[in-house]
């Protein structure tokens, strides 16, 4: 296993990898500096036209709106991600409940009826409580 790892990352690959990382970081820094200068020039133009206070308020509000939009998008993507383990776990819980209900019904049907009445009452209570909080 170690031999495969060392063959995968040999001296040449490691040198090229470090060069790629260094050049990528340098490109990222240069891009951020360019963006900063563009923002400074835009701020200067707006400040000359409207005044420094108004330009600061406009730029601050725009950046807050952008940040909220990015945060909302990230939250939607995170909440919408596939969760196969959760689906399998829910299926396992449902299967266990059905097996338990089947065993309970076979042994003593009167206990199953009592359990159904209790679960129905709990469901009715929670449904009613949720509809009350929505109103």
pLDDT band, very low/low/confident/very high, at 49 (cuts 50, 70, 90): very high
pLDDT (0 to 100) of residue 50: 93
* Residue carrying the six token digits 């196969």: 84
- Is pLDDT at 24 greater than 80 in this prediction? yes
Least confident of 36-40, 88-92, 116-120: 88-92
Domain range enclosing 28 = 2-81
- Assess whether 63 and 109 both reside in one domain: no
pLDDT (0 to 100) of residue 126: 79
- Assess whether 72 and 97 both reside in one domain: no
For the residues 48-64, what does the mean pLDDT come to? 92
For the residues 34-42, what does the mean pLDDT come to? 93
Structurally, the chain folds into a number of domains equal to 2
- Assess whether 71 and 104 both reside in one domain: no
**32 or 15, higher pLDDT:** 32
- Is pLDDT at 23 greater than 80 in this prediction? yes
- Is pLDDT at 44 greater than 90 in this prediction? yes
**10 or 52, higher pLDDT:** 52
- Assess whether 58 and 114 both reside in one domain: no
Give Cβ neighbours of residue 130 (< 8 Å, ≥ 6 apart): none
- Is pLDDT at 104 greater than 90 in this prediction? no
**43 or 127, higher pLDDT:** 43
Domain boundary, last residue among 66, 81, 96: 81
Give Cβ neighbours of residue 111 (< 8 Å, ≥ 6 apart): 104
pLDDT (0 to 100) of residue 31: 92
Domain boundary, last residue among 50, 65, 81: 81
Closest CA relative to residue 43, chosen from 55, 34, 51: 55
* Residue carrying the six token digits 């206070």: 53
């Amino acid at each position: 296993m170690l031999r495969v790892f060392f063959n995968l990352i040999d001296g040449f690959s490691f040198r090229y990898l470090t060069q790629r990382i260094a050049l990528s970081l340098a490109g990222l820094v240069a891009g951020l500096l360019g963006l900063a200068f563009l923002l400074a020039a835009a701020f200067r133009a707006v400040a000359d036209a409207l005044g420094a206070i108004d330009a600061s308020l406009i730029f601050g509000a725009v950046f807050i709106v952008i940040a909220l939009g990015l945060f909302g998008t990230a939250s939607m993507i995170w909440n919408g991600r596939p969760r196969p383990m959760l689906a399998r776990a829910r299926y396992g819980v449902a299967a266990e409940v059905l097996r338990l209900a089947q065993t309970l019904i076979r042994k003593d049907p009167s206990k199953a009826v009592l359990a159904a009445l209790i679960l129905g009452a709990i469901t009715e209570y929670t449904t009613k409580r949720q509809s009350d909080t929505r109103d």
